[in-house]
Every structure is written in C-alpha cells, then in structure tokens.
Amino acid sequence: MQSRLRVQGHPIQPMLVTFPLGLFVSATVFDLSDVVGGPAFLGEVGYWTGVAALFAAAMTMVAGMVDLWDVPVDRTRRTAIAFNLVNAAMAGLFLVTCLVRAHSPQRGATVAILLTELVALVAGGVGVRLGARLMRQFDTGRAETGSLDALAGSTVEVARPRP
C-alpha cells in the first residue's frame, strides 16, 4: 500500500503532521508561561501560534483524507481512521480554546485553557503512536534509502489509482 501524495517515494502526511503538533506544543508552552506569571504578550503569542497550528492541521487532514481513499478495508484502514480522528480531536480542542480566547482583548491564557491544551496534547501523543503504527503498516517491505543522494532532484508526485 502506497500513499497517493509522496515526495521521493515518502508519504507527505507524516511530514505534515510535525507542523501542527510542534505548533500546538509551542502554543501550550507560551500559554504555560503566561499562566505562571510571564509577560502578558506570551498569551497572545500562544493564541496566534495555536491559530497557525489549526491551519497546518487542516492541511494535514486534507492529505490524510486523500491517503484514506486507497487504504484497503482491513486493520490498516481502521488505524488510519483512528489516527485521523485522534488528530481531529486534538485540533478540535485547540479550536475551542482559540474560539474562547478570540473575543478577549489580550487573548491571554487561563488555567482552564491550559488544561484543555494539555488534554489535547495527550490526544496528540496517542496520534503519534497511531501514526507510527500506520507508517509500519503502509511501508511493509519497502526498502529505505540511507543516503542524502536520494534528495537530489526532489519532486512531488501524485500517484494515480490503479485500475
């Protein structure tokens, strides 16, 4: 089973997942700093980092849905659906925190918002485990190249479904 969206034979979605996850973690760190008494602007930086993470998560979810079209109905499909649902749940919790903060003047974090973000990051950790399992299932029997020469002439490919 190959992913439809690939760069040099590697699926794009696992590469994209790192962006929202990293941004969500960064937003939580900024909000933690705001809650424990850091400068007020850290809360606003946390808010905008969360907004950027939501856009990155949306792009990642689109790539996940494209890949899901060709996944056979078996354990791999169940894992892929669980992976996408867990990541959507994480993004949904961050969306709620961003919507709550959108109407406040300084967009600072509160303890309740920070706890919601921490729960979302726990869900993200589950998503990482599911993603690792999914990659093992997707790439069974595929040989990895160990050299940087594989990056020379990188192109983005969109695989055509087999008839």
Residue 40: what pLDDT? Answer: 82
Residue 77 burial (CB count, 10 A): 15
Is 125 domain-assigned? yes
- Local mean pLDDT, 10-residue blocks, the chain (163 residues): 64 80 94 90 91 93 80 78 88 93 82 92 88 72 48 56 62
Inside any domain, residue 161: no
- Domains of the chain: total: 1
Range of the domain at 33: 14-139
CA dihedral 42, 46, 51, 56 (to 10 degrees): 120
Length of the chain, in residues: 163
pLDDT on residue 110: 84
In whole angstroms, give the CA distance from residue 83 to residue 19: 16
Q: Is 5 helix (H, G, I), strand (E, B) or coil?
A: strand
Residue 48 lies in a domain: yes
Which has the closest alpha carbon to 137: 57, 61, 72? 72
* Separation CA 127–CA 150 (nearest Å): 28
Name the DSSP class of 140: T
Amino acid residing at 141: G
Q: CA 122, CA 87: separation in Å to the nearest integer?
A: 11
> Residue 145 domain-assigned?
no
160 located within any domain: no
* pTM of the full structure: 0.74
Q: Is residue 72 part of a domain?
A: yes
- Please calculate the CA angle 116-28-126 and round it to the nearest 5 degrees: 65
Task: Flag whether 157 is in a domain.
Answer: no
Tokens of 114: 């920070």
**What was the pLDDT predicted at 143?**
45
Q: What's the pLDDT score for residue 154?
A: 52
Q: Where are the alpha helices (DSSP H) in the chain?
A: 13-35, 41-68, 75-102, 111-138
Would you say residue 49 lies in a domain? yes
